[in-house]
Amino acid sequence: MLLACLALASFAPLEFRGGDASFLPEMESLGAKYFDGTKREDPLRIMKKHGLNTARLRIWVEPSHGWCNLEKTLKMAKRAKVAGLKVLLDFHYADDWADPGKQPKPRNWAGLTGAALVQRVEDYSREVVLKLVHQGTPPEVVQVGNEVISGMIWPDGKLDYKNPKTWDAFCDLLKAGLRGVKRASPKSLTMIHIDRGANWESTRIFYDNLRDRHVEFDLIGQSFYPWWHGTMEQMEENLKNTSERYGKGIVIVETAYPFTLDKMSGKPHMVDHRYIDKLPFPQTIAGQRQFVEKLVQLVKQTPNGLGKGVVWWAPDWLEQPNKHSVWENLNWYDAHGRVLPAIDALAR
């Protein structure tokens, strides 16, 4: 019976399969065009046509450049729902990029500390999600923080792994965000996301600390880029150990793979020949698809059916005359905006 269930699970598509569409409005404003074969189409509809079902949208608090603010996020959520996609909302709790190396406090929150900051995180989270609910686009999943392995909203929520008090402060902020989301949309799943997809020891230490402080959430999110995070075998081990220890669904919520290492626009890429020894498949269109096929297979094989999804990061960040894309060789579109076969492998 168990083998039969595993076989069925291996054929069923993942619950969350998609891409981060946060760059799309900016790309389109610069003239980017996307094609399925020879036909120009909305990238969200291309996702749906190829069997994907999830659009991830990041939101910044008050970005000075205007992209990924509340207004644009609401519009993108409507657009995603019209295309037939689920919405995965990614709170950065910052006015710009928040990641392991930086988690900047929003400018207008600068004077808030302690209980006042905790309350602001709860209120802000509730306000944003409630606006999504009221316009008829409740998010299926909400990330409370982005790659928060080092904490969030620094300096207040910055983690020092040797100082338990910093974990208490960080978890108070996480709990506030989680409360705000559930107050606005009780059915939305909540996710805590880190960038240790192939590192079991770091994953265990992080989520053990959350468990010890009774942080209640639904899904574990991981970033996995093989050139930064480790091998696919290490990722497989991490998925197995994480699922068995915490019993929560796991989503690889950020990933990508190059279809070339050569310069496409004459400008540098983030991933180039320096990383070739850490890339397990050829850096070709076929090799990119092979990577996705293997990744999806490993996520599906997570024990107890707890491998829940794979989401590609910035698949549509194309090179534009006025904006260089360091990610152009990691998209699932080529230099001409034509969708690549990797998208189909993700939907399997």
Alpha helices, DSSP H, located in the chain: 2-11, 24-29, 43-49, 70-82, 114-134, 164-184, 200-212, 226-229, 232-246, 285-300, 342-346
- Check 140, 147, 236, 328 and give the catalytic one: 147
Distances (CA, A) of 96 to 62, 184, 277: 8, 24, 32
- Whether residue 184 contacts residue 192, with contact meaning beta carbons closer than 8 Å, is answered with no
Burial of 280 (C-beta count, 10 Å sphere; 0-12/13-18/19+): middle
Whether 293 is a known active-site residue: answer no
- Whether residue 146 contacts residue 157, with contact meaning beta carbons closer than 8 Å, is answered with no
Identify the H or E element spanning 36. Answer: strand 35-36
- Check 15, 254, 319, 328 and give the catalytic one: 254
From 1, 100, 15, select the one nearest 53 (Cα to Cα): 15
Rounded to whole angstroms, the Cα distance separating 335 from 332 reads 10
Whether 122 is a known active-site residue: answer no
Catalytic residues: 147, 254
